[in-house]
Amino acid sequence: MSVSESAPAPSEIQQISIPSEIMDVDTTATASEPLTQLQQPPPSNKRKTEDDEPKEPLSEVILRRLTRIKEGDTVMLKLPSDAIKVITVEKNGLIQLGKYGAFPSSQLLGMHYDITYEIIGGPSASGSGSSTPLPFMSEENGQNTKNKKKGKSKENDNSRTNPGWKNVLRPLKRQNVVDAVVDDITETNEHIHDLPELEKQTLSHDEINELRSQGLSVEEIIKKQEEAHEMFKLKTEFSKEKWRRRKEKKFSTTVHPLSPSIPNILHHYSERSPASVLHLRVDTLSQLLNMANIRPGGRYLVVEDTSGLVTAAILERMGSEGKILLFNNSDSPPAWSILQSMNISERELKGVKCLNWMEAQEDYERPPPPPEDDNAKPAKVAQRLRKHNAQVAELNATRDELHMGGWDGLILATTLSPISVLSFLTQYLIGSAPIVVYSPHMQVLAELLAWSKKDPHYLHDTLSESWERTYQVLPGRTHPMMNTSTSGGWLWSAIRVHPSQFQPESHSRFKRRKTGKQSGKETPSGEGGNASAEEKKQDESGAGPGVEVEAEMQSKADTSISEQAVSEILGA
Amino acid sequence: MQDQQVDQQKLSESSRSSLYSKSMFHSRAVIEAGDLVISRDNLTSIIITPGEEMHNKFGRYAHVDLIGQKFGTKLHSPPPHAGYIHLLRPTPELWTLSLPHRTQILYLPDISYITMRLGVRVGGKVIEAGTGSGSMTHSLSRTVGPTGQVLSFEYHQPRYEKALEEFKSHGLENVRLQHRNVCKDGFNDASGVEAVFLDLPAPWEAIPHAMKTLRPDIITKICCFSPCLEQVLKTVSTLRSEGFSDIFTQEVLIRTHELVKESDPDHLTSVSSVVDSLKAHEKRKVERRAVQMKTAREKARRQKENRDGVSSSEPGQKRKLEEDKAEGTPSADIDNEEKQQEQVKEYSAWVEPDTQLKNVVLTKPTPEMKGHTSYLTFASLYPEIIRNAIAAQESSKSAVATPRLAELVAEKLAGRAGSQETEYGSDGLDEVMGTLTEEEMIALAGK
């Protein structure tokens, strides 16, 4: 989807002309071609012409991706230990989870995400009540467990012998909660001594493995543990439950396929490599999306270094309708490691385009291809030229779309300097477009805020920080969780506005009056069309009532000043 | 600024909309008649109606004059009024700040978090009860988009009517507002819903009704918004007994930071520069003193001369005095003292490190913030097929009672007879596995 490709040498020639007899129709689009659409190319029109094949609505495609597992999907399996194993679902594969057991990966096909499944012995393994295919499994899945062909992957080498092949998945029935009130609890921990020698009374790892091989269920193993635990009966019901839960985590054989939803993906990456998502937290991300007013059909400029996470989140909010233009530091297209793990289809990514910073500059021109050898075959030469021209055309189309402006929003979650990025990209935004910048460091955004306060193109610039707390809500045991995340990062947001071009008479009168109170500043006349610094100075120093309002929006003192000013002028 | 023809054309355009006005969610660059425009400066919203005027402390503006202006324009009031407004394109976030309050409203942190956790998606169908002031409704309407649907319920008649009018004038065509008490009467014919948001005094009364509206083929989500912990406990208990899973309760707040302008001139000044300025000050003081003394002597001398009428050998004396003065300056004394002290000290002389602290941009949190809005309780309802599979599992288990189970049952009856059966939901993402207590419960129920 990227249009960027490097060329060896800079040149002034943008496009190479090719002999007319082999010229393609699609090479005609250049930067110089006037675009018919003015401020706002409606994205809906464009889409219609592109998607002429009969297809199901995109929203259904997205919903299916987020709810059901299909072949070839990358799936995050959460294990009882809360560790996550990332697997690819194949028709013929065995998923081995060490002590948590193994099962054929075909078992996952068509399954719902975000549900915990128990790995249990299949029809031939045990003669229990689950010998018939479970109702939630399709016919196909039931057969797959019986007659699968040997796959090519290594873990299939022992396919027939591994007992895991006979295992099936079934939804886990959850444990009940001890529903008692504190007054009912008679046991205390007065007589409980957590001595190491008492710990030894519980079963050893080997003993547990022994029990497991005998085919004992998790609850039976735990029961044995309880029996071995001398102090167990002394514990309160609450702590018994807690103990059991801990043990269950240790012994149960379950998998929980996590849906590639934004909260799940973000949670996974912030545990595994928080730096790869710039320490973003789900509440902060949710605020970023709302502040940026992401909606289907919108067109957004995005600069992100979160491995594609922010792009994916924006894309999802757009329902993949509209356009995202990404900016890239390197010559090659960005490596969206997260986007790739979300099973996003090409169709969903259709509206995502990318430019590197050099290509995004208005004065950039793609250099011509290297000179051809004299004895190169004309057909080959033509083919190469066609390819080059097609690339140039695509690049220029994207560049034109950027430079035509009218974008609906600008979202930054980048390690680049936000002041630098904003000073370049704000000009391409439509009036009143929201701008949101995320940073894990408040200092960066404080600098940005100090800068934006002086630039009249930014209105309502605010710096905020999200806070979140999770509660354990259990009968008689409700409290906030003991451990929590300290910071989800900071957000700077503003609205891009068109600064005023003129200074009305009444305004300057007012200003003259006020200069006594304000630290006396001069009044430039606002003729500078897009020289932002100049205008800003005007706004800052031309201390009208609005300036105060602009600086301190909610401040009642300020509005009262302006009120006073108005009445003064009316009186005068 | 507009000529009459253009105005006429715009008028006719605006009149063609029948039931709903133009959608407030758009990317048009220029303001037209019928548009909702929000002025950020006083947080008022107007629907551009030619012939009307907006008059407030920021000036007097004829609506017709706003037509043709770009969204985002900073518009000065025509004389004699000072002041200006910013003409902004409406967004749900701006609307939240400018809407007329009919109830306590939801703000950005809660709205965005709920939207994210409920998985509200483009093309989805969601329920919201009650509508209240419509802050959440606008955000949901934007997020589900034209292909989605928001089913909103309000039981308060005047609020319902106001909201109905508002949604129509904002062109929220994907919102279906109904006047209904969902706790008593349920959600009418709603079905195929993917997410339910309950902002009600007693959400637990509406939960059983809400379940009937949920799509059976996918995991569906519910969020209950309650300010009190007592409500949360009741809600969670009901969610458990109704068979919801993955129940968790959260709070989200937002804190804003503002720039600090330090008026104190000594702010972040280094000690050495304080020393320098003190030294300079002292030097000036000494010089001044010398001048003062000189003038005083001069004066005394002149007085004496006036009295005596004769001048003596003053210049020489004066010079001598000045020299005495220079030798005995306190700064010289201090220098000497410092030198002495340096010899006594064991460590090296103080060298002040170079810092950029003076250039640092300072912020501090704004003095007040919302300390609590409400607890957000989320839960999932599994697809019907999964719930049935779990239920089937339950019955087959109780059928094959083992001797061990019988033993358990006996123990159970003696021990924990008072405990009540509720579905256990994990706290947060922290999944909890196992079925021991479950088994016991079934056994109990069997007896």
Which pLDDT tens digit goes with each residue over B370-398?
999 999 999 999 999 999 988 887 665 54
Mean pLDDT by 10 residues, chain A (572 residues): 40 42 38 38 43 73 93 91 89 86 89 90 48 40 39 44 79 68 59 61 67 67 70 69 72 87 94 93 97 96 94 95 94 82 90 94 90 82 91 94 96 96 96 96 96 94 95 88 91 93 52 44 39 41 39 39 45 40
Q: What angle do CA B136, B137, B140 make, to 5 degrees?
A: 85
Confidence (pTM)? 0.75
What lies within 8 Å, CB to CB, of A75 at 6+ separation is: A69, A86, A87, A88, A89, A108, A113, A257, A258
How far is residue B33's CA from residue A306's CA, in Å, rounded to a whole number?
42
Question: What average pLDDT does the segment B102-122 reach?
Answer: 95
- Please give the share of chain B, as a percent, with pLDDT higher than 90: 53
Mean pLDDT, to the nearest integer, of B105-118?
96
Which range of residues forms the domain containing residue A395? 20-58+261-465
Mutate one of B93, B116, B385, B400 to test the A interface: name it (highest A CB count within 10 A): B116
- What's the pLDDT at A311? 95
Q: Is A267 in the same domain as A331?
A: yes
Q: What is the pLDDT of residue B15?
A: 42
Q: Name which of A170-179, B169-178, B268-277, B429-438 the model is least confident about.
A: B429-438
The residues facing A466 across adjacent strands are B254
- Facing residue for B72 by CB, picked from A173, A175, A432: A432
N- to C-terminal Cα separation, chain A? 64
pLDDT of residue A21: 40
User: A377 has which bridge partners?
Assistant: none
Q: What's the confidence (pLDDT) of residue A305?
A: 93
A283 and A198 in a common domain: no
Q: Hey, are the CB atoms on B93 and A40 less than 8 Å from each other?
A: no
Give percent helix, percent strand, percent coil of chain A, each to the nearest 5: 40, 15, 45
Asked whether residue A478 is assigned to any structural domain, the reply reads no
Peptide bond into B80 cis (omega under 30): yes
Same domain flag for A428 and A348: yes
Same domain, A327 and A400: yes
In the DSSP assignment, the letter for residue A177 is: P
Q: How many domains does chain A have?
A: 4
pLDDT recorded at residue B157? 95
Considering only CB atoms, B72 lies closest to which of A287, A498, A549, namely A498
Closest-CA distance, A239 to chain B, in angstroms, reads: 14
Provide the mean pLDDT of chain B.
80
- Average pLDDT score over residue span B314-341: 53
Would you state the pLDDT for residue B314?
Answer: 52
Integer CA distances (angstroms), A351 to A52, A258, B311, in order: 16, 26, 101
Query: pLDDT at position B16, please?
Result: 39
B248 CB neighbours in chain A (<8 A) are 470-471, 473
Strand order across the beta sheet in which B36-39 lies: B44-47, B36-39, B84-88, B74-76
Residues of B in contact with A406 (CB under 8 A): 27, 29
Q: Looking at chain B, which residue has its C-alpha nearest residue A242?
A: B432
Domain membership of residue A66 (yes or no) is no
What whole-number distance in Å separates Cα of residue B414 and Cα of residue A486? 46
Q: Which residue has the tokens 């819903």?
A: B193
pLDDT given for residue A178 in this prediction: 58
With 70 as the cut, is the pLDDT of residue B430 above it? no
Clarify whether residues A229 and A358 are in a common domain. Answer: no
Q: How far is A9 from chain B (nearest CA, A)?
A: 40
CB contact under 8 A, A431 and B89: yes
Is A348 within 8 Å of chain B by CB?
A: no
**Nearest residue of B to residue A115 by CA position?**
B382
pLDDT score recorded for residue A244: 73
Q: Is residue A483 part of a domain?
A: no
Tell me the Cα Rg of chain B. 39
**Which of A223, A252, A281 is the C-terminal boundary of a domain?**
A252
Asked if B438 lies within 8 A of A467 by C-beta distance, the reply is: no
* Inter-chain touch A562–B82, beta carbons under 8 Å: yes
pLDDT at A111 (0 to 100): 92
Task: Looking at the structure, tell me whether residues A397 and A415 fall in a common domain.
Answer: yes
Residue B355 has pLDDT above 60, yes or no: yes
Tell me, letter by letter, the H, E, C secondary structure of A54-79.
Answer: CCCCHHHHHHHHHHECCCCCEEEEEC
Please check whether residues A143 and A109 belong to one and the same domain.
Answer: yes
Token pair in block for residue B437: 């207590």
Interface of A with B in 24-53 (CB under 8 A): 39-40, 42
Q: Does A367 touch chain B (CB under 8 A)?
A: no
Q: Do B218 and A112 touch (CB under 8 A)?
A: yes
Looking at the structure, do residues A404 and A296 belong to the same domain, yes or no? yes
Judged by DSSP in three states, A328 sits in strand
Residue B61: CB atoms within 10 A of its CB come to: 23
User: Using a CB-CB distance cutoff of 8 angstroms, which residues of chain B are in contact with residue A170?
Assistant: 389, 393
For residue B191, is pLDDT > 70?
A: yes
Q: Which residues of A touch B40 (CB under 8 A)?
A: 459-460, 495, 553
Q: How many CB atoms lie within 10 A of CB A551?
A: 16
Identify whether residues A271 and A371 lie together within a single domain. Answer: yes
How many whole angstroms separate alpha carbon B1 and alpha carbon A557?
34
Task: Say whether residue A282 is in contact with chain B using an 8 A CB cutoff.
Answer: yes
Closest CB from B361, B382, B420 relative to A447: B361
A467 Cβ under 8 Å from any chain B Cβ: yes
Answer yes or no: do A504 and B79 touch at CB < 8 A: yes
Q: Which of A172, A471, A495 sits opposite B249 (nearest CB)?
A: A471
Could you count the other beta carbons within 10 Å of the beta carbon of residue A374?
5
Instruction: Give residue A194's pLDDT.
Output: 63
Q: Would A473 be classed as within a structural domain?
A: no
- Examine residue A493 and state whether it is found in any structural domain, yes or no: no
What gap in Å lies between CA A532 and CA A429, rounded to an integer? Answer: 14
For residue B365, list chain A residues with Cβ-Cβ distance below 8 A: 465
- Which of A113, A135, A220 faces B388 most closely, judged by CB atoms? A135
- Is B436 in contact with A82 (Cβ distance < 8 A)? no
pLDDT computed for residue B336 by the predictor:
58
Same structural domain for residues A163 and A191?
Answer: no
User: What is the structure's pLDDT at A54?
Assistant: 58
Mean pLDDT of B270-274: 88
Helix (H, G, I), strand (E, B) or coil at A317: helix
Q: Is the peptide bond before B130 cis (omega within 30 degrees of 0)?
A: yes
Q: Do A310 and A410 sit in the same domain of this protein?
A: yes
Which chain A residue is nearest to residue B433, measuring alpha carbons? A248
Residue A350 covered by a domain: yes
Return phi, psi of residue A23, to 5°.
Answer: -75, 140
Candidates A237, A256, A469; nearest CB to B431? A256
Domains belonging to chain B, first-starting first, are: 4-90 (3.10.330.20), 94-257 (3.40.50.150), 384-446 (no CATH)
Q: Do A190 and A284 share a domain, yes or no?
A: no
- Closest partner residue to A283 (CB to CB) among B121, B252, B256 is B252
- Tell me, yes or no, if A144 comes closer than 8 A to chain B by beta carbon: no
- Which residue from A minimizes the CA distance to B382? A115
What stretch of H or E contains A168? strand A167-171
Are A433 and B363 within 8 A, CB to CB? no
Q: Does A187 touch chain B (CB under 8 A)?
A: no
Which residue of chain A comes nearest to B393, CA vs CA? A173
- CA-nearest residue to A64 within chain B is B218
* Residue A112 maps to a domain: yes
For residue A224, what are its two tokens? 């044995």
pLDDT of residue B394: 67
Q: Last residue of a domain, which of A208, A225, A252?
A: A252
Distance from CA of B307 to the nearest CA of A (A): 53
Flag whether A202 is in a domain: yes
Closest CA of chain A from B287, distance in Å: 34
Give the CATH number for residue A312. 3.40.50.150
- DSSP assignment, residue A499? P
Output the pLDDT for position A337: 84
pLDDT at position B356:
82
CB contact under 8 A, B123 and A293: no
Interface contact flag, B72 A285, Cβ < 8 Å = no
**Terminal C-alpha separation, chain B:** 86
Which three-class secondary structure string do you get for chain B?
CCCHHHHHHHHHHHHCCCCCCCCCCCCCCECCCCCEEEECCCCEEEECCCCCEEEECCEEEEHHHHCCCECCEEEECCCCCCCEEEEECCCHHHHHHHCCCCCCCCCHHHHHHHHHHCCCCCCCEEEEECCCCCHHHHHHHHHHCCCCEEEEEECCHHHHHHHHHHHHHCCCCCEEEEECCHHHHCCCCCCCECEEEECCCCHHHHHHHHHHHECCCCCEEEEEEECCHHHHHHHHHHHHHCCCEEEEEEEEEEEEEEECCCCCCCCCCCHHHHHHHHHHHHHHHHHHHHHHHHHHHHHHHHHHHHHHCCCCCHHHHHHHHHHHHHHCCHHHHHHHHHHHHHHHCCCCCCCCCCCCHHHCCCEEECCCCCCCCCEEEEEEECCHHHHHHHHHHHHHHHHCCCHHHHHHHHHHHHHCCCCCCCECCCECCECCCCCHHHHHHHHHHHC
Whether pLDDT at B93 is above 80: yes
- Domain boundary residue, one of A173, A206, A236: A173
A173·B435 Cβ contact <8 A: yes
Closest residue in B to A262 (Cα) is B116
Inspect the interface and report whether the beta carbons of B40 and A553 lie closer than 8 Å. yes
Q: How far apart are CA A264 and CA B393, in angstroms?
A: 28
